[in-house]
């Protein structure tokens, strides 16, 4: 792909419809056309008989010669582990940062958003299952191989202040994300990771050296939920969020709040208590509305009253910035000063209608509002 063609891309491009429900996850490297997206993987260990052990996520897949890891984005060939999605982008968009959602990180700015395929979860309620549950060969890469520097140039050309690794689990493109985030920082931009947080320690610590923010899609304060509904585990996600905070990288959390599954007052109180004790009171926690999708269509959308109740429980627990999400126009998608209650940022969905912050402070009481308001 020519650089000028990539820079001329429209504001949004998505190849999400290429995978049909029930598509098989057959292997096959596609020859030279697919091999251009291959690079030797980071964070893996060589085992006897040309086996490898992946060190990217807590699944720690042991992968035989000629086999793929659980996520389908990594393949062992003759004892050398490869990523198959380096520069293999299937979705591009220039989004409001509020769509991620990141409410305390450069509000009102745009984030050049990119995705490849694959995930280390299989959430029954996934909103982007067409790409997250696909294998590389199942979806076309409309723009061919995209160089990391071209992503940074495209973001800068659009006036974006960040590059978001999003839509599928960004850890699946670790090697590419690492390089794009490094180049973005050198160019005065920042990388933001929209992740499920199910990572091993070493790759996450490496990413935190260059990322500006991480938003964790937290599933539920329940290991049983993680195992049954997502095919993952809770503890590694909790550990990831603590690492983000310890590294001084901005963190926000979102819980898609699903009726009867993760919305009980007891579970919400336990989550808020853990956040307060381990992350502190200033981490924004978004309770967002569930809509029936993918394999979880038997439950109704979340009543807005449930989300407001969750927010009230979070405030009662001592969290300063809980939000209600996916309910455009709700008063609790706005940002209020934790000290005096002044309305600071008024939102209408993804749009900023008013931002009265003054150098990161409340104009009424001068309280410092936690967040990243400028680079």
Q: What is the pLDDT of residue 20?
A: 26
Given CA atoms 300, 304, 310, 311 in this order, what sign does their dihedral have?
positive
pLDDT of residue 33: 85
pLDDT at 4: 54
CA 144 to chain centre: 23
pLDDT tens digits, 81-122: 999 999 999 999 999 999 999 999 999 999 999 999 999 999
Compute the C-alpha angle 36/27/294, nearest 5°.
105
Is residue 373's pLDDT more than 60?
Answer: yes
User: What pLDDT does residue 31 have?
Assistant: 81
Q: Greater confidence, 247 or 20?
A: 247
Per-residue model confidence (pLDDT) at position 30: 59
Q: Is 80 exceeded by the pLDDT of residue 26? A: no
CA-CA distances (angstroms) from residue 285 to 22, 234, 275? 34, 17, 9
Region 342-356 average pLDDT:
96
Query: What pLDDT shows up at residue 5?
Result: 55
Structure tokens at 14: 């998505």
Tell me the pLDDT tens digit for each residue of 203-221. 999 999 999 999 999 999 9
Q: Tell me, what's the pLDDT at 50?
A: 98
Question: What pLDDT score was predicted for residue 301?
Answer: 98
DSSP string of 47-110, one letter each residue: -GGG-EEE-SSTT--EE-TT-B-TTSSEEEETTEEEES-TT---EEEEEEGGGTT-SSBSTT-E
State residue 12's pLDDT score: 39
Radius of gyration of the chain (CA): 20
Query: According to the model, what pLDDT value does residue 11 have?
Result: 38
Percent of the chain whose predicted confidence (pLDDT) is above 90: 90
- Average pLDDT along the chain: 93
- pTM listed for this prediction: 0.93
Q: Which pLDDT band holds residue 280 (cuts at 50, 70, 90)?
A: very high
Mean per-residue pLDDT, 181-201 = 98
- Residue 118 is predicted with a pLDDT of 98
| Stronger pLDDT, 46 or 25, i.e. the higher one | 46
Q: Which helix (H) or strand (E) holds 188?
A: none
Residue 17 confidence (pLDDT) above 80:
no
Q: Per-residue pLDDT for 6 more than 90? A: no
Question: Mean pLDDT, to the nearest integer, of 242-269?
Answer: 98
Task: Give the model confidence (pLDDT) of 303-326 as tens digits.
Answer: 999 999 999 999 999 999 999 999
- Given the structure tokens 């308001």, which residue do they identify? 373
Cβ neighbors of 374 (< 8 A, separation 6 or more) are 106, 360
pLDDT digits (tens, 9 = 90+) for 115-167: 999 999 999 999 999 999 999 999 999 999 999 999 999 999 999 999 999 99
Q: Calculate mean pLDDT across residues 39-64.
A: 98
């Amino acid at each position: 792909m020519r650089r000028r063609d990539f820079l001329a891309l429209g504001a949004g491009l998505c190849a999400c419809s290429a995978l049909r429900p029930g598509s098989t996850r057959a292997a096959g490297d596609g020859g030279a056309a697919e091999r251009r997206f291959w690079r030797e993987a980071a964070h893996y260990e060589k085992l006897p008989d040309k086996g490898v052990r992946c060190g990217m996520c807590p699944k720690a897949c042991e992968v035989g010669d000629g086999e793929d890891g659980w996520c389908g984005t990594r393949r062992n060939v003759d004892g050398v582990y490869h990523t198959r999605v380096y520069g293999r982008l299937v979705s591009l968009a220039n989004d409001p940062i509020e769509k991620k959602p990141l409410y305390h990180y450069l509000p009102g700015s745009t984030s050049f958003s990119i995705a490849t395929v694959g995930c280390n979860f299989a959430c029954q309620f996934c909103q982007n299952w067409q790409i997250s549950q696909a294998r590389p060969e199942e979806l076309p890469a409309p723009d061919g191989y995209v160089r990391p520097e071209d992503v940074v140039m495209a973001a800068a050309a659009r006036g974006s202040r960040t590059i978001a690794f999003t839509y599928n689990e960004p850890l699946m493109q670790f090697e590419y994300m690492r390089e794009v985030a490094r180049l973005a920082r050198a160019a005065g931009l920042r990388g933001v990771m929209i992740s499920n947080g199910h990572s091993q320690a070493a790759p996450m610590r490496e990413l935190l050296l260059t990322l500006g923010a991480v938003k964790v899609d937290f599933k539920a304060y329940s290991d049983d939920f993680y195992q049954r509904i997502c095919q993952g585990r809770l503890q590694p996600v909790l550990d990831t969020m603590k690492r983000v905070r310890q590294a001084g990288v901005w963190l926000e959390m979102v819980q898609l709040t699903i009726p009867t599954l993760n919305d009980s007052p007891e579970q919400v109180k336990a989550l808020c208590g853990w956040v307060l004790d381990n992350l502190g009171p200033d981490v924004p926690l978004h309770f967002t509305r569930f809509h029936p999708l993918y394999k979880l269509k038997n439950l109704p959308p979340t009543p807005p009253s449930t989300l407001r109740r969750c927010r009230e429980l979070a405030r009662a627990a001592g969290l300063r910035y809980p939000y209600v999400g996916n309910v455009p126009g709700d008063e609790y998608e706005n940002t209020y000063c934790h000290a005096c209650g002044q309305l600071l940022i008024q939102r209408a969905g993804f749009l900023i209608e008013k931002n009265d912050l003054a150098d990161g402070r409340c104009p009424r009481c001068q309280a410092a509002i936690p967040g990243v308001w400028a680079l």
